[in-house]
Amino acid sequence: MTEVRTRPASTPRTGAADWLLRQVREPYLKLLAAQVLTGVVALIANVLMARAMTPDHRGEVALLLQIVYLGSQVLLLGTERSFVASYHNYTPSAAVRAYTRLLIVPVVAGVVAAAVFSLAAPHGLNPGAAIVALVVAYTLVAAVGLAARSIAIAVGKTKDFLAAQVIEALLQLALFAALFVLGVSNPAIWITAYLVAGLLPTTAYVLIWWRGSTDGQGHERNALVRREGLALFPAAVSNMAMLRADRLALPALASTSALGLYASVATMTELLAWPLRAFADSRIGKWRAADREGGLRTRPVVLAAVAYTVVLVPIAAVMLYLLIVPLFGEAYAPAKAVVVPLVIAAGLYGISRVALALLIAKGHAGLVSTGEIVGFAVSFAFYLLLIPAHGIVGAAYGSLIGYGACLLFALVVMRVKRDPAP
């Protein structure tokens, strides 16, 4: 008699474990982990710098970092998300070579522009050739780091990207701790620490990816990436302005102490949007492929983002409201007034990231830029209107209204460009 062996059925415990393992392997969780790690290191760095420097020197570091972040966006020219959509499932080597070609012209133009500025800028505006060179170098590293993130998402190497972020974070912590212990207060040296920590792991992984096989794949999609990138470039700049304009407007229209109160809450509420942004960024390529096949359904994705926000926002608002004084001290008690509007604003911003990513996947890059510009223009207008009379509360509600306007625009466009009937 032949013995028949039957495969034992999986137990509910095994099924749950398999499901959990699949979720852990999802790219967006690795991106989220990288973002959370970056946020934690930034918080620690802020504490160390504040204790090692005078407020003036701390402000110089903040200003230089803002220039670097803006400069990196200029070098990328909006290609971060369009590259993910167009080079989905390419080999790492082919993707690195393709993105390198995209960066050559902007990098050369940026270096030349910086050199001209260093030579021709008036004395009062020129920080000196050494500082300009430092900012240019860190801007290049930051741009390559953002490009590496897009490459990792496109080719399925988010695990490598997370490893690079962990190494960068450890280097930053070690360098910042050393500068703090040594009592270094020179802003240029702290920026150099940022530069070194970002340069080493990013360069290592880009070189590793470069040496792999291209499997005959080339840079044939670069024209599309550049075209969509230029359409998205205003969105990238407007998005950065929408996120940072409140912190630039508060010192000018209120006071630096008001900025301190506001930033203590805003830095924490921003974390609410990170999971949705990481999820959206990791899905653009798949959504683009599904749209080409006629199978992209946007409504369930947006509803899932809304559900996440509706559940999390009340919990986050209550917890943060209760923790303000225990975390920051009695002097920060007035910051409680901005907790609710900033938490809601972060939720709206997160949903808008998902909606705009879906529009990119459907080929509406120009409309995405329009949405970001609308959000920035509305928020900035309300900052000017509300901050002089209401201070940090006015800034919080300006953010809420601006982020809401961006989301509303995206939802209206999605309604007009609705999914085809199944």
Q: Is 199 inside a domain boundary?
A: yes
Question: What number is the average pLDDT over the span 38-42?
Answer: 77
Residue 139 lies in a domain: yes
Do 175 and 258 lie in a common domain?
A: no
The pLDDT of residue 332: 72
Specify the pTM.
Answer: 0.68
Highest mean pLDDT range out of 84-93, 271-280, 314-323?
Answer: 314-323
235: left (phi over 0), alpha (psi -120 to 50) or beta: alpha
| 126-177 pLDDT per residue, tens | 778 888 899 999 999 999 999 998 898 888 887 888 888 889 999 999 999 9
Residue 171 falls inside a structural domain = yes
Do 268 and 247 belong to one domain?
yes
Q: Which residue range is the domain that position 47 belongs to?
A: 26-220
Question: 79 and 210: one domain?
Answer: yes
Spatial contact of 364 and 380, defined as CB atoms under 8 Å apart: no
Same domain, 214 and 126: yes
Residues 289 and 200 in one domain: no
Mean pLDDT score of the chain: 83
- 353 and 312 in one domain? yes
Count up the domains in the chain and report the number. 2
Q: Which residue has the higher pLDDT, 137 or 284?
A: 137
Least confident among 84-98, 114-128, 383-397:
114-128
Q: Is the pLDDT of residue 190 over 80?
A: yes
**Better-predicted residue by pLDDT, 29 or 374:** 374
Q: How confident is the model at residue 244 (pLDDT cuts 50, 70, 90)?
A: confident
In this structure, the answer to whether residues 200 and 257 fall within a common structural domain is: no
pLDDT of residue 5: 46
Residues 339 and 245 in one domain: yes
The average pLDDT across 360-364 equals: 85
In the chain, what percentage of residues exceed pLDDT 70? 86
The answer to whether residue 17 is domain-embedded is no
Question: pLDDT: is 139 or 214 the higher one?
Answer: 139
Task: Say whether both 111 and 159 belong to one domain.
Answer: yes
pLDDT value of residue 383: 94
Q: How far is CA 126 from CA 40, 42, 75, 130, 133, in A?
A: 33, 28, 21, 11, 12
- 21 in a domain, yes or no? no
CA 43 to each of CA 46, 61, 194, 235: distance values in angstroms, whole numbers, following the listed order: 5, 14, 14, 27
Q: Are residues 182 and 237 in the same domain?
A: no
- Domain end (from 220, 243, 270): 220
Is residue 245 within 8 Å of 375, Cβ to Cβ?
no
Type of residue found at 35 = Q
Backbone angles phi and psi of 124, in degrees to 5: -70, -20
Q: Is the pLDDT of residue 193 over 50?
A: yes
190 in a structural domain: yes
Q: Is 121 part of a structural domain of the chain?
A: yes
Quick check: is 388 in a domain?
yes
What is the C-alpha radius of gyration for the chain, rounded to an integer number of angstroms?
23
* Closest among 116, 351, 107, 381 to 241, alpha carbons compared: 381
pLDDT value at residue 262: 79
Pair (289, 207) in one structural domain:
no
Examine the domain organization and report whether 194 and 246 are in the same domain.
no
